[in-house]
Structure formats: C-alpha cells, structure tokens
C-alpha cells in the first residue's frame, strides 16, 4: 500500500451529503467562520516591540485575506459536461456555470445580494445545482435548486423556521434524494423522498424519537440513531420504514464521538464503520450486513481514521486517511494509488479531491501550499493531464505568506498536544521553526470544543504573522481526531484541565524562546471565545489581552438555550460539560463560567457577537459586558445584527478583523492596517468601548 502525505479532505461522502452535513448538522461544527480576504492602502506601525524583519515586511491587506475569493469551490457535473464554482457578483458570492469544453463562457446563475452562498453541489442527474442558505445567520438552512438549462430557481423546502438535512443520495436513482425537515416539530427531522426536478416531497418516516438516519443506494432507510441514557448512541435497523425496538449496535458515552457508521456500499452488502469500541483510536471496519461479521481495514495508533475515497459506482473504499500532524492518505486500490502518486509528483503541499465525474475519469483537485494562494486544477486521468482551473486569491501571489509548523507539546500530566505554529515573516532566519528572538504571540483557540485544528492555510495565522506576531493553535484535551482517551480526558474539564493545556502551551512557547511572557494574547471563536474569557478571568496574569468571538460566558444559560434540534443529543453536553439538573453538575458549570469571575478581568478585552446566533445567544456576550460595566472594567463590544455564530459576510468579517488587529496593536505592539472607512459597508454596532481601540472613534465619525 502507498501512503501519501498530501491530503484529500472531504472525499468520504457524496457532494450533497458533505455540503449539508458540514453546514446544517452536527454539534461539533466549526464555530468561527472566517471566509474571504481584504485590500488596503497604507499601514500603521504602532509599536517598537516587533522584530525588525516583521516591521519592514509589507502588510498584506485585510481584504486579500478575509474578503471574497476570486473563485472558490470548483465542481464538475456528474456527467462531466459542466463546471461550476463560487465567485462574487456585485460583491456577494454566487454560483457560476460554464461548459466543460468552454470554461471561459461562464455565467452567474444565482442572484444572492446579501448573504454569500457558501456551499453548492450538483444533483446526481446533472440537471440542476443545489445550495443551502439561512437568514441572517439563524442556521435554519433551506434547500434551493437551479435548473442548468432554464436557470429557473426553486425553493425545494419552502418552510419557515426549518432546517434541512440530507439523509441520503444515490448513484443509481439520479432524480431523487432523501431529506429531513423539522417543520412539524423543531426537535425532530421527518424523512421525505424529494424529487429534485419537480420538487415533489413524499413523507417516508414521521420522526418522534431519533437524532438521525442512514439510507442505502436505493434510498431505502436502513438505520436510525438515538442517544441512549449513558450519553452514547444506539443504532437501530429499519425494515420497511419500521424501526426495530432493539439496537443492533450501541456505544457507550466514551465512544460516542469516535464511533459512527460511515456508509453502505452501493449494493448494501457492506456497512463501513469508524469505530473505537474496544480500542483507543477509531479504526476503519467493513461489516457484512447479512451476517454482522466485521473486517478490520485500517488502523493507526496515534490518530483516528478520518476520510475515505470510495469507488463512485460500487461505493467500496479505495483509500483512507489518517490526520495526526498532517493528513496522510493510504491507497488500497491500484488505480487510485497511481492517480494519487501522479498528483503527489506534480503538486507541492497538500492536495485533495473536491469533485469527481460519475465515470471517475475527471477530478477537480485543490492544492494548498500554505505559503501561496490555493490553486484548483482539472485532472484528466485518461490523458494524464493536470490543467489549472483557477487561483483562489490571485492578489496573494507574491505576498509574504509564511509556513505553518506542526509541533508536539507535552502537557503537565504527560499528554501530547498536537499544535500548529506560524512565525512572523523574516523572524526565522535558519528555518528551524523557532524565531531568532522571542516575539509577541497570539494563542488562537479552536471552537467546538469537539473539533480540532489542522495543518493548512489559515488566514488568521497569516494576517497576524504578517503583523509581527507568532500564532499558536493547540489541540487541547477534548479535541477530536486523537483517539477517545484524549477526547474523554476533556470531559467536565471546561476551565480546568482543558484550560491547563492552553497555559502549558503558552509556557512551552516562552521556554522555547518563541513568545515573550508578558506579550501573549488569547483569541478564539465559540469554545475559543469561552477560552478567551476563561483566560482573562481564571489566569489573568498569563495574557496581555483577549479577543472573544461568540463565546459563552455562562455555561448554565448556554445549555438552557441550545437549539431545539440539538435536544435529541443533549445528554452529550451534560456528560461532557456538567448536568445542570444535578447539584454537582450545576456547581461544576457555575465554577467554570467566566461570568461569575468577571470582576477579576484586568486586561483589555474585545468581544464580537452575532445577534442571531442560535448556539451562543447574544445574551452570553451581553451578560459579561454588563458585569464588566458594573465593575467599572473597560471592554469593547461589537455586535452584528445580521450575523449568527460567526461572521459570514466578508464586509462584517473584514470589519471585525480590522478592529481586532488595531486592538491587538495597542496591546502587543505589532503593526496594523488603519481602520479607515472599513466599518462603512459592515453592519457593525459598537455597543461599548470604542475609545479602547486605536482609530475606532474616528472611524465612527466621533
């Protein structure tokens, strides 16, 4: 077998299922949306503590990092006749379409004029393109269809306060998919068979108990999933749309986030599993659906098995991935191995398959070298030709982008924390992953917390490294991908050992000569926002300042206001955070809530919040801002009335990053592009504290 160190993300499921699962399902979805890139004119040098090389490096404009890409998300139709991608139209990302044999003859086929379209996918029959969209960040995603020939747009799920899920698509039934919609009961998704061409929906199963379903290639329901009393998952067979009373497989809580079914082969004779039961890391198994016999396909002792590449016709696994420091693919099918080796020989950095034709002879391949803008190619497997499709952000060609360094940090109790370090441009003259002298540092904490940081291009890392800071992202205990022992070590450790890991990483960076001990900021979104608040309340001596984006301040109110469609999974929160229905759990949640220690904040704090956030309500930010005001502690609070859990609109994202970099320049002494008129196209409302960010009062016309 051949192991390839360059990666191919998101190839383990159909494009439709990938898209909606990524945006419309899952409690551990990425919390901080940072799409786009930016452009600016002049720059300000606001401090003398930077290295000389960082001080003299040209500033990369914010818009080049956080504004709209020129093109993104290239796709090819299943029949190979059409190309599609996302690109701006009147400043908003829309879907574009061109013939495969005439890619310059492109036309925009959607008319989004407010929120960008962030995901699109081809219908299995190649007659239409679909996308999902919510309103103002409320995460009630509806499903839309555009006819490729007529360009007529149809809302396939025309319901209010409804969130669509894709239950199943098929390689053999091209005009239909199974969807789940919660328009009858917000807690549960009823399963419907949807004709993607006519829009006709037929009820398949009225759901009053289950968190999810899985179907085979005939679009027949085969499995239902429900959380059990222990916080694990029970898996039930479905026969003729009747769910069996007893589960055929079950997991305990400890395996609930590391074990899951990974899909059927086309003939439904095999069910694949990613499974950690009876072991630490999740391995890939094939289960005979007739006999129940299981066969081990692949395992790794450091990381969970991740994605798979499947044969489009048979659904059989052709390759699998393991993501420890970097994502590595191992091919088990000869032609797939040959294709991956062909790409490996021609592309530097990471690459992946984003789209394939039904005959599997044409792939759309992205390539990320980290220190250059991503490029997407069309790979003709028969001709052995790799043709450039587009560069995502041509304005970054030649920009002073810098490498990312994977590192392993040991926690105080011996756990290995896989982390990623980016250094200021020019600070590492011998390229050993350590600066020539210590620099200011930003600890950038991921959301979830049941998610992980990965190796790859990261606009936050690049912008702040360009401004003169080291940036460190840490996979603290509770992060996914490193086995269940590491994941479960974070259970009920919010603000405790999970926070200790972050502190240990800061101490490591200081000891390694990377960071200056009195010039470390903490920043993050969702759980990363919580970690910021925890850092400034529980360990204020460790951080010079903090930037919190949609972070919860009170874990009790966070759990009492979860979205209704998370109710079938609520046990996972109680078991992994603390049960608010018990005195012990309530005390644990209260002790871990930064709100109750707001009076201990002594360092500058910037907070960003979306008013329509369904996960972390606006009240979470309002509460801690109010507590700080009551205690007479300065805080800057930025509210976006048209955003949710993160900032989807580039103008809003750019505006917040502009405020953040000027805030951090005051705190850490790095460079910053002046605010100028960056707030004008955004919806940003400065609720409190404009006087604490350089240039913000002037930008507001004050």
Give the span between the Cα atoms of 629 and 609, in whole angstroms.
Answer: 17
CB of 420 closer than 8 Å to CB of 407: yes
Please give the C-alpha separations between residue 194 and each of 22, 129, 191, 202, in angstroms, as whole numbers.
20, 15, 9, 7
Collapsing DSSP to helix, strand or coil, 340 comes out as helix
The whole-angstrom separation of Cα 115 and Cα 13 is 26
Sheet-wide strand order for 153-155 = 120-122, 128-133, 142-147, 153-155
CA atoms within 13 A on the CB side of 213: 32
Is-catalytic flag, 645? yes
Pairing of strands 416-422, 404-410: antiparallel
Among residues 122, 142, 217, 147, which one has the least CA distance to residue 178?
A: 217
Name residues whose C-beta falls within 8 Å of residue 470's C-beta, 6 or more positions apart in sequence: 421, 422, 423, 424, 427, 435, 439, 440, 441, 442, 509, 514, 515
Catalytic member of 446, 461, 574, 645: 645
Q: Is 613 a catalytic residue?
A: yes
Q: And the tokens for 61? A: 């404009």
Write the CB contacts of 622 (distance below 8 Å, at least 6 apart in sequence): none
| Beta strands at 176-185 and 153-155: parallel, antiparallel or unpaired | unpaired
Burial of 127 (0-12, 13-18, 19+ CB in 10 A): middle
> One of 613, 621, 642, 682 is an active-site residue; which one?
613
C-alpha span between 402 and 347 (Å, rounded): 18
Strands 439-445 vs 470-474: parallel, antiparallel or unpaired: parallel
Query: What is the spatial distance between Cα 572 and Cα 549, in angstroms, rounded to a whole number?
Result: 24
Please report which helix (H) or strand (E) contains residue 23, including its range: helix 15-24
507 is catalytic: no
Please identify which of the residues 526, 621, 682, 683 carries the catalytic annotation. Answer: 526
CA–CA distances in Å: residue 131 to residues 128, 141, 147, 153, 482:
10, 9, 12, 11, 32
548, two tokens: 């919190």
Cis peptide before 196 (omega within 30 of 0): no
Residue 111: what are its φ and ψ, rounded to 5°? -135, 40
Distance CA 74, CA 377 (A): 9
The answer to whether residues 34 and 460 touch, using CB atoms and an 8 Å cutoff, is: yes
Helix, strand counts (H, E) of the chain: 14, 40
User: For the chain, how long is the longest CA-to-CA vector?
Assistant: 73
- Among all chains, which residue has been given the structure tokens 């250094």? 423
How far is Cα 551 from Cα 605, in angstroms, rounded to an integer? Answer: 12
DSSP characters over 444-470: EE-SSSSS---SS--HHHHHHHHTT-E
Question: Catalytic site residues?
Answer: 526, 613, 645
């Amino acid at each position: 077998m051949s192991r390839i160190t360059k990666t191919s993300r998101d190839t383990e499921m159909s494009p439709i299922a990938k898209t909606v699962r990524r945006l419309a399902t899952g409690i551990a979805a990425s919390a901080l949306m940072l799409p786009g890139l930016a452009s600016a004119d002049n720059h300000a040098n606001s401090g003398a503590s930077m290295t000389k090389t960082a001080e003299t490096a040209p500033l990369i404009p914010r818009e080049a990092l956080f504004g709209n890409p020129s093109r993104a998300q290239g796709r090819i139709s299943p029949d190979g006749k059409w190309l599609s991608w996302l690109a701006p139209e009147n400043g908003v990302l829309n879907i574009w379409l061109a013939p495969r044999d005439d890619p310059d003859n492109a036309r925009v086929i959607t008319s989004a004029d407010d929120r960008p379209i962030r995901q699109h996918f081809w219908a299995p029959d190649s007659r239409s393109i679909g996308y999902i969209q919510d309103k103002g960040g409320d995460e009630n995603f509806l499903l839309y269809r555009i006819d490729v020939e007529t360009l007529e747009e149809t809302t396939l799920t025309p319901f209010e306060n409804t969130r669509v899920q894709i239950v199943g698509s098929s390689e053999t039934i091209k005009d239909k998919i199974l969807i789940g919609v919660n328009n009858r009961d917000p807690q549960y998704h009823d399963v419907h068979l949807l004709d993607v061409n006519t829009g006709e929906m037929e009820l398949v199963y009225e759901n009053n108990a289950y968190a999810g379903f899985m179907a085979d290639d005939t679009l027949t329901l085969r499995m239902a999933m429900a959380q059990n009393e222990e916080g694990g998952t029970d898996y039930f067979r479905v026969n003729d749309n009747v769910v069996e009373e007893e589960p055929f497989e079950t997991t305990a809580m400890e395996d609930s986030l590391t074990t899951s079914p990974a899909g059927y082969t086309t003939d439904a004779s095999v069910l694949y599993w990613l499974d950690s039961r009876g072991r630490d890391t999740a391995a890939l198994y094939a289960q005979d659906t007739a006999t129940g016999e299981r066969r081990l396909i692949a395992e790794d002792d450091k990381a969970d098995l991740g994605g798979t590449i499947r044969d489009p016709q048979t659904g059989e696994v052709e390759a699998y991935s393991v993501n420890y420091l970097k994502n590595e693919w191992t091919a088990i099918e000869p032609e797939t191995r040959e294709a991956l080796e062909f790409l490996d020989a021609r592309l530097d950095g990471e690459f992946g398959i984003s789209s394939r034709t039904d005959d599997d002879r044409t792939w759309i391949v992205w390539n990320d070298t980290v220190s250059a803008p991503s490029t997407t190619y069309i790979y003709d497997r028969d001709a052995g030709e790799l043709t450039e499709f587009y560069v995502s952000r041509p304005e970054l060609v030649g920009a002073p982008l810098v490498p990312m360094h994977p590192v392993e940090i040991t926690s105080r109790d011996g756990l290995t924390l896989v982390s990623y370090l980016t250094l200021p441009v020019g600070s590492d003259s011998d390229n050993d992953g350590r600066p020539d002298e210590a620099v200011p540092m930003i600890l950038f904490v991921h959301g979830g917390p049941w998610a992980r940081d990965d190796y790859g291009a990261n606009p936050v890392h690049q912008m702040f490294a360009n401004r003169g800071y080291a940036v460190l992202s840490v996979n603290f205990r509770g992060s996914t991908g490193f086995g269940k022992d590491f994941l479960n070590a974070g259970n009920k450790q919010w603000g405790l050992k999970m926070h200790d890991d972050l502190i240990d990483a800061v101490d490591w960076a200081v000891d390694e000569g990377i960071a200056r001990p009195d010039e470390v900021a903490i920043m993050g979104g969702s759980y990363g926002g919580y970690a910021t608040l925890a850092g400034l309340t529980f360990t204020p001596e460790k951080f010079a300042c903090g930037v919190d984006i949609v972070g919860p301040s009170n874990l009790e109110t966070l759990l009492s206001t979860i979205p209704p469609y998370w109710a079938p999974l609520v046990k996972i929160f109680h078991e992994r955070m603390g049960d608010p229905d018990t005195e012990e759990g309530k005390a644990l949640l209260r002790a871990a809530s930064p709100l109750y220690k707001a009076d201990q904040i002594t360092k500058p704090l910037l907070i960003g919040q979306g008013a329509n956030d369904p996960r972390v309500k606006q009240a979470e930010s309002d509460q801690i801002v109010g507590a700080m005001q009551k205690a007479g502690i300065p805080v800057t609070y930025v509210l976006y009335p048209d955003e949710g859990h993160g900032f989807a609109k580039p103008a809003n994202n750019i505006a917040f990053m502009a405020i953040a970099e000027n805030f951090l320049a005051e705190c850490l002494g790095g460079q910053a592009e002046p605010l100028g008129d960056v707030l004008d196209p955004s919806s940003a409302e400065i609720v409190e504290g404009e006087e604490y960010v350089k240039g913000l009062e002037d930008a507001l016309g004050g």
